[in-house]
Amino acid sequence: MPSDDRLQRYADLALRVGLNLQEGQPLVLSGSAESRPLLRALARSAYRLGARAVVVDLHDPALGRIDLEDVWEAYLDEVPDWFVQARVRAVDAGAAQLSLTDADPFLLRGVDPARLARRMQAAARARRPYLERVGAHKVNWLALGAATPAWARAVFPELAPDETTERLWEAIFATVRLDAPDPEAAWRDHVAALEARAATLNRARFAALIFEGPGTELRVGLAQRHVWKSAVAEAQNGVRFVPNLPTEEVFTAPDPERVEGVVTSTRPLNIGGTLVEGLRVTFAGGRAVELEAAQGLEAVRAVLATDAAAPRLGEVALVETPNPVFDRGRLFLNTLYDENAASHLAFGRAYPDTLGLAEGDDTALTAAGGNASTVHLDWMIGSPEVDVWGERADGARVPLMKRGRWVDAAR
C-alpha cells in the first residue's frame, strides 16, 4: 500500500483536476472493498472541498462471481435494480459520481460463457438508467484507477505476489504525473495541450486519416459531421470535468462505411480474460472482412458477432507516443490505461458527442452517420513506428504524426 500521504495526493488530484467536485455537491464513490484505503482518502479530500455528503457504494468481486456461478437457471435473467436505482436517485439529486477502476482482469475466467452472457445482459438492463445519465454527462463523473492485489498479479505475473500491488500503484501514479513538482499544474497544462490539439483538428476538417507502419496501410474515412474531442467534458450541471485519469487521446468518429486497407495491432488486448495478440484486420467498405491473430482470435470474432454494426468502426483516437502510459512498457489489462498508451481504433459504438449529439438517441446517431452498435472494443494501432496523415477532401495529405509524435504542421 502506498503511504497515506501519496494516496491523499492522488485523491486530491482526482477530485480537483478530474471530477472537479463543487463545494456543496454530494458525491457517490464506488469501488471494490479492497480499495478502501483510497476510498477513505477520497472521502477526506471531498469533505475538505466542502462535499455536502459522501456516500460509498462498495462491492466485492468474489460475490459477483458467486452470483454468476450459483444463481439458479430460472433466475439467471433477473437482476434486481434496487441499488442501481439508489445511484439514479443520487445522480438526479446532483451527486457527482466517482467510480474506481480496480477489477481483476481475469475475474470471470472459466465462467460458463452462456450463463455469463445472459447474466451480463440482465445486469446491463438494470444498469441502463444509471449509465444513460452518466453517458449523457448529467453530472460530473470520473473513472479512476486503484491497484488491487488480483489486478496487480495479472499485470506483473513474473513478480513475487507481495511486490505486485506496490508496483501497480507506482505505475498508476506515474500515468497521472503524481510525482511532478506540481501535479495539478502539470495536469492543467496537459489538458490544455490536448484541447488545443482537438481544436486544430476541428479547424482542419480532414476527410480521412491515413495510418502507415509495420503491417499497416489503412485509410479511415471520418464522418462528415465528425467532432474531435479530448480530455474535457462539460456536464449538464455546468461543471467542466476530466472524466478519465489518465487521458492522452484526441478522438473522433470514423465513417463506418469508408475504411479501407489493413492494420496490425501494436499491443495485445484483453477481452474478458482472453489475451488477443498480433491481431491483423483487413477492411473493405468500412467492414472488417478478414481477421487474423497469433492468439485469441475467437474472442474478437465473438464480439464482432454481437450485431451488424460491430465489425465496423466507431472511434479513431490519436495518442502521441511516448507518453506516461506508454512509458510503463506493459499492458495494464484495463482499457482506461491501455487505450491511452497509443493511437487506437474501436469496433462498434461511436461516442455521440464526436458527432455533435447528446447520448441516448440511437436513431439520431445513425442518421448522423455514426455507429450505433451495442459494443465498443478498443485496440491499439499506434507506436513510435507508425506515421499518420490527415487527408483533405481534395486528396491533399498533411502529415500529423511522424514515428508516433505530433509534427508541427498539426499544431
**Residues of this chain that bind Zn ion (CB under 5 A):** 249, 251, 315, 317, 339, 346, 378
Task: Give the residue with the Cβ less far from a second copy, 22 or 321.
Answer: 22
Length of the chain in terms of residues written: 411
Task: Give the residue with the Cβ less far from a second copy, 72 or 214.
Answer: 72
* Cα–Cα dist 118/310, whole Å: 19
Task: Give the residue with the Cβ less far from Zn ion, 283 or 379.
Answer: 379
Is 4 one of the binding residues for a second copy (CB under 8 A)? Answer: no
* Cα–Cα dist 266/103, whole Å: 24
By a kind-dependent CB cut-off of 5 to 8 A, residue 70 interacts, out of a second copy, Zn ion, none, with a second copy
Q: Out of 55, 136, 204, 275, which residue is the one contacting a second copy (CB under 8 A)?
A: 55
Task: Give the residue with the Cβ less far from a second copy, 82 or 214.
Answer: 82
By a kind-dependent CB cut-off of 5 to 8 A, residue 339 interacts, out of Zn ion, a second copy, none, with Zn ion
Cell numbers for 133, please give them.
Answer: 445519465
Residue 57 CB, nearest approach to a second copy (Å)? 7
Cell numbers for 407, please give them.
Answer: 509534427
Task: Give the residue with the Cβ less far from Zn ion, 10 or 337.
Answer: 337
Residue 409 main-chain phi, psi, to 5 deg: -55, -30
By a kind-dependent CB cut-off of 5 to 8 A, residue 50 interacts, out of a second copy, Zn ion, none, with a second copy
- Tell me how far CA of residue 96 lies from CA of 49, 124, 158, in angstroms: 13, 21, 38
Task: Give the residue with the Cβ less far from Zn ion, 42 or 381.
Answer: 381
* Cβ neighbours, 10 Å, residue 304: 21
Q: Which residues contact 234 (CB under 8 A, 6 or more apart)?
A: 137, 240, 241
380 with 369: CB under 8 angstroms?
no
The stretch near a second copy (CB under 8 A) out of 54-62, 286-294, 351-359, 398-406 is: 54-62
Is 1 one of the binding residues for a second copy (CB under 8 A)? Answer: no
Residue 24 CB, nearest approach to a second copy (Å)? 8
226 with 201: CB under 8 angstroms?
no
174 with 324: CB under 8 angstroms?
yes
Is 240 one of the binding residues for a second copy (CB under 8 A)? Answer: no
Task: Give the residue with the Cβ less far from a second copy, 66 or 284.
Answer: 66
Is 73 one of the binding residues for a second copy (CB under 8 A)? Answer: no
Give the H/E segment covering residue 115. helix 113-135
The stretch near a second copy (CB under 8 A) out of 67-75, 113-121, 131-139, 215-223 is: 67-75
* Cα–Cα dist 303/67, whole Å: 23
CA nearest neighbour of 173 among 330, 333, 29, 328: 328
Cell numbers for 121, please give them.
Answer: 445482459
* Cα–Cα dist 16/275, whole Å: 35
Is 124 one of the binding residues for a second copy (CB under 8 A)? Answer: no
Count of chain residues binding a second copy (CB under 8 A): 41
Is 116 one of the binding residues for a second copy (CB under 8 A)? Answer: no
Is 82 one of the binding residues for a second copy (CB under 8 A)? Answer: yes
Binding site for a second copy (CB under 8 A): 26, 28, 33, 36, 39-40, 43-44, 47-48, 50-60, 62-63, 66-67, 70-72, 75, 78-80, 82-83, 85-87, 89-90, 93, 95
